[in-house]
């Protein structure tokens, strides 16, 4: 059957045709494809502004800057995420701390957030909740806390393109800015790419400026009279973190295919739920009214119901050529963050989760035969351990 990865891109002939057309157009970058992708993405997410970037890490970094985060500032995020959710605060010279997860959803815990706000000497300037595995975080509750304590919300929706809460797309409400990733393993891909969406025109303007050297070519925005049509102004210190037109063309094509890809992921997730129901595993949470993007499907070994270790399960899957993975080793336990003072025990629910979790394959082109193979290896391994 060959190696089954935990995730892989879904590139269709129409994606190839779209990229080919971009490659043979007059523009490889700074042409019409980026604004077209931004417009489609904004429409799909029910927001007025979408700003494309080289990747989601850049979008998180520039969003922190646009929100005014800087030296002396403070960012809180969840330890159960990719390191970029935390690094963006340090890029700006701010301090970073974490809020523990809710073991049921694996997302940032609203209770832990409220408790930390009550106990901490000051609230954060920016909160970065993550829609882990594509399951939307409880942003309605976090928005209420943000309004009370006066912090901004930067939603890391890197896993959640196409997810919604009660029919309203992730990114369309609650967050000041929401960021999406189009890395090759994510739900929609541009190879490398990211998008920041917002309702706030001033934040969108800052994001556009920061992604392109702090330069504006909009005569209405010039601080001095333009000496001629060639004129542009650098008004801030920015970077070059633009998306190319080639990448945006792929993104536009992928976005058209998102409903079909999303349906395939959801169907396979439902099927995992059914096939794994009898095993001593905790399956992903279902929240009424929340439609996940199903970027990842993570099971947790239920230690109360089986002596099998996560390590044994992971090794058995790998030995069977199944690309099991861990999402995520808690950020605060990475050597870089431990050197900054974090230690085991700081965020016990994220740590306990990470000791139990195994990501199993889920992507639109996963076949039922491949999925059956994954289930068979899980069932056999858990049965063997029980018999021993
Ligand atoms: C993938 C990912 C990122 C970074 O995305 P890139 O586009 O690779 O920079 C950030 N946060 C989370 C939660 C991610 O999964």
Cα(72) to centroid(ligand 1), Å: 25
Pocket around ligand 1: residues whose beta carbon is below 6 Å from it? Answer: 55-57, 81-82, 84-85, 130, 156, 158-159, 181, 183, 194
pLDDT in tens, 212-256: 999 999 999 999 999 999 999 999 999 999 999 999 999 999 999
Query: How many domains does the structure of the chain reveal?
Result: 2
For residue 386, pLDDT beyond 60? no
Residue 6 lies in a domain: no
Atom of ligand 1 nearest to the CA of 81: 13
- Taking only the tens place, the pLDDT of each residue in 90-142 is 999 999 999 999 999 999 999 999 999 999 999 999 999 999 999 999 999 99
Q: Active-site residue numbers?
A: 186
Element (H, E) at 141: helix 139-149
pLDDT band at 25 (very low <50, low <70, confident <90, very high): very high
CA–CA gap between residue 366 and residue 6 (Å, rounded): 9
Last residue in a domain, options 204, 237, 255? 255
Atom of ligand 1 nearest to the CA of 132: 13
Q: Mind giving me the DSSP string for 260-327? A: HHHHHHHHHHHHHHHHHTTSSEEPPP--TTEE---S-EEEEE-TTT----HHHHHHHHHHTTB--B-S
Closest ligand 1 atom, residue 194 Cα:
7
Of 255, 276, 291, the domain-final residue: 255
CATH number of the domain to which 124 belongs: 3.40.640.10
Residue 3 in any domain: the answer is: no
**Would you state the pLDDT for residue 252?**
98
Q: Assess whether the previous peptide bond of 328 is cis (omega < 30° from 0).
A: yes
CB 101 within 8 A of CB 347: yes
The answer to whether residues 199 and 303 belong to one domain is no
Confirm whether 2 is domain-assigned: no
How far does the centroid of ligand 1 lie from the alpha carbon of residue 116, in Å?
Answer: 25
Query: Are 285 and 369 found together in one domain?
Result: yes
> Do 225 and 279 belong together in one domain?
no
Last residue of a domain, which of 255, 280, 303?
255
Residue to probe by mutation, ligand 1, list 133, 158, 187, 250, most atoms within 8 Å of CB: 158
* pTM of the predicted structure, to 2 decimals: 0.97
pLDDT band for position 385 (cuts 50, 70, 90): low
The alpha carbon of 152 and the centre of ligand 1 are apart by a number of angstroms equal to: 20
The residue segments making up the domain with residue 332 are 258-387
Q: Do 35 and 184 have their domain in common?
A: yes
Note the pLDDT of residue 346: 98
CA of 341 to the centre of ligand 1 (A): 24
């Amino acid at each position: 059957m060959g190696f089954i990865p935990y995730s892989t891109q879904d590139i269709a002939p129409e994606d190839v045709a779209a990229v080919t057309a971009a490659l043979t157009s007059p523009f490889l970058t700074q042409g019409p494809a980026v604004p077209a992708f931004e417009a489609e993405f904004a429409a799909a997410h029910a927001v007025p502004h979408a700003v494309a970037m080289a990747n989601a890490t850049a979008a998180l970094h520039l969003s922190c800057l646009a929100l005014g985060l800087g030296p002396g500032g403070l960012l809180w995020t969840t330890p159960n995420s990719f390191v970029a959710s935390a690094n963006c605060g340090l890029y700006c010279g701010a301090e970073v701390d974490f809020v523990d997860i809710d073991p049921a959803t694996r997302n940032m815990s609203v209770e832990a957030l409220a408790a930390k706000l009550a106990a901490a000497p000051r609230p954060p300037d920016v909160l970065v909740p993550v829609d882990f595995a594509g399951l939307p975080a409880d942003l309605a509750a976090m928005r209420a806390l943000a309004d009370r304590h006066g912090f901004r919300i930067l939603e890391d929706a890197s896993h959640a393109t196409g997810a919604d809460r009660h029919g309203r797309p992730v990114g369309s409400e609650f967050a000041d800015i929401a960021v999406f990733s189009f890395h090759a393993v994510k739900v929609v891909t541009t190879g490398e790419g990211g998008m920041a969406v917002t309702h706030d025109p001033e934040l969108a303007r800052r994001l556009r400026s920061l992604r392109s050297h702090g330069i504006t070519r909009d005569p209405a925005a010039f601080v001095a009279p333009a000496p001629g049509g060639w004129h542009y102004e650098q008004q801030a210190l920015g970077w070059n973190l633009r998306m190319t037109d080639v990448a945006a063309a792929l993104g536009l094509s992928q976005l058209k295919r998102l409903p079909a890809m999303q349906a395939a992921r959801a169907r396979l997730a439902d099927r995992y739920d059914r096939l794994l129901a009898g095993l001593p595993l905790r399956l992903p949470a279902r929240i009424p009214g929340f439609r996940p993007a199903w970027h990842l499907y993570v099971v947790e070994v239920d230690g109360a119901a089986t002596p099998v270790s996560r390590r044994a399960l992971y090794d058995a899957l790998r030995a069977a050529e199944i690309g099991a993975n861990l999402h995520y080793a808690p950020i605060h336990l990475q050597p870089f963050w431990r050197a900054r003072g974090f230690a085991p025990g700081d965020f016990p629910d994220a740590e306990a989760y990470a000791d139990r979790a195994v990501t199993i394959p889920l992507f639109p082109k996963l076949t039922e035969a491949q999925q059956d193979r994954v289930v068979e290896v899980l069932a056999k391994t858990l049965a063997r351990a029980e018999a021993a």
